Amino acid sequence: MISALFSYEFVDGGVDYDSLEQIHRCDIHDWVSALESAGLFDDAVVAEIEQAWRSNPKLLLDLLLAEADEMTMRRCLITWAALDRIAPLAQIG
């Protein structure tokens, strides 16, 4: 159900790579707010989902890519892998 809420919006018109970077660094406030605003889940469920996404932000990415075409999915996963490689360097600086 969550995939249906977000995936079309995420890939419609092309993926916003700034959003990918935000998700990678666990800046998921906008996605959690959208989930709350949808009114489909109670506060406890939203909190549980938020915790899962904070623990593993790739869960949110996978959800957002559920309806993406193969090329979009590959580009996003390649970008995600690049972000994984540079994230430790960003913590040093």
pLDDT at 5: 64
Helix (H) or strand (E) holding 70: helix 70-92
Residue 45: pLDDT band with limits 50, 70, 90: very high
Q: pTM surpassing 0.85?
A: no
Tell me what pLDDT residue 54 has: 97
Predicted pLDDT of residue 53: 97
More confident residue, 78 or 10: 78
Q: Dig out the tokens for 3 from the structure.
A: 């995939």
Residue 14 has pLDDT above 80, yes or no: no
The mean pLDDT of 45-62, rounded to a whole number, is: 97
With CA atoms as reference, report the closest residue to 7 among 56, 52, 72: 72
